[in-house]
Structure 1
Amino acid sequence: MSYSNIGKTVRLTRILRDGRAVVFAFDHGFEHGPGDFTSETIDPRGVLKKIVDAGVDAVMLTAGLAHVTRDSWLGRTSLIVKITGKTNLRPEDQKLLQSIIGTVEEAVSLGADAVAATVYWGSQYEDAMLSQWVSIKEEAERYGYPCLQLAYPRGPSIKNMYDVEVVKYGVRAAIEVGADLIKTYYTGSRETFREVVKAASGVPVLMSGGAPRKNFIDFLKDVEDVMKAGAQGVVVGRNVFMHENPALAIKAVMKIVHEGLTAEEAYKTMQ
């Protein structure tokens, strides 16, 4: 085993501390704009402090946001630096393209444990994002850094990006290009997501939290289903930081992922 492979194993262990992980994604200010936040959550440091205090396994941030909020997470949880992204300000016909917004070297400088990049499988810009991914993966390998791929099937020919066959294809494509961790869509049932996990062939799969659910218990049921399907965890964002009590929300998710509680049991701990 090369030194870089040892480094990757060490960093993956920090994120998947018991083989499972709850990752808090907080790149929404870049991807969606300030409209996702209230006057109480517009300052990212306050939100991150609550989440980190609750014991989350890792946070996924852009390099700039990681620098601004360093007092909230430094030395207290794992950092994953997202080094591709897009804004909602760009023209509609280019919204299925991610741009490079950071580097692996910046992630190393920040003391991160992994890097993350998105590939919109099926997009008309798939080739450009694949080129980005290959370059990121090559540099990350030199530093012994795991690469989390946000494997999102989106494109003009995809009618339903949550269809199990479509999601399975994206996951299979992600492992074919060397993803060490995969974040992907929930397919709507425990049975279909079990197929997604199987398609990953042992590469850890994390469910994308997605848009906020009207009733938080429904989101917890999704988390329970993917864990029972064999997933290694979840990547949560809006369903947590848009909740009236983000700390209780993330703790409930963690009880399902790490302690095996049912959604109902975890929800009761919030009362």
Structure 2
Amino acid sequence: MLRVSKLFVYPIKSLGGVELTSAKVTDRGFEHDRRWMLVDGANRFLSQREFAQMALLRVNILADGLLVSHLTSADQLLIPFVPQTNQTGQFTVWDDTCMGQYVSAKADEWFSRMLGATCRLVYMPDDSQRIVDPEAKYVASRKITSFSDAYPFLLLGQASMDDLNARLPEQIPLNRFRANLVFAGGEPYQEDTMAHFKIGGVDFFGSKLCARCNIPTINQDTGLAAKEPTRTLALYRRNNNKVYLGQNLVHAGEGLVTVGDAIELIETKEMLNSLRLLP
């Protein structure tokens, strides 16, 4: 039996995640997930890929907004759920451009000081509709997402993490991989083959495997990067010069997902031959 074992949201793109016991599924993913984002002077998104120190900024969800703190200092910032400006703009996430709203001058100053680089905080309002996979390479029907890299959800099996850690010289924590849904039970890398499953009243569909960037090499407690786990993953999870772990998902319906919920597997698909488990 597959069951939900952990749930995470990342309210501000590329900052620390928030572990939840229950998460509300909205039209564009879990509630609050990547609805905020830091951008540079050209309105392009910032991430740990260029600013590894973003890992040291942690987020808590309070009743009146987001509380952001720095892991190694006493600096904190409360961000109300409603932006404090009426100023909007067009913002870029990879090849996508979507509408957003600037949050506040106070937030801009605080984050610029924390990162040592000029940046601004923006929010995605409900009327901003960013289409998933607009060329329909992996998703046939119209879906939307937030400021995520490309998809509303990332699925990862605990068995996959256990298998990876058994191959590594030193174990690494789950937070390197920024999953939304983690499940227990099943076989390592079973998420690769999960084409359609249900949790409660919500249908989830596996769209494409997640090609990993350098973020899994960044220690989320220090902001320092190393060669693992990418070096090890490349030995057995490599295809077309990319390494893969986890599967991107889209969904149909809204509802509540809770740790411990059963996962009803409805349809599977083939795993890439190059990613099949080695002895």
Same structural fold, with TM-score higher than 0.5 when normalized by the shorter chain: no
TM-score (norm 2): 0.29
- Relative to its length, the structure with more helix (as a share) is 1
TM-score (norm 1): 0.30
Structure with the larger RCO, 1 or 2 (CA within 8 Å, 6+ apart)? 2
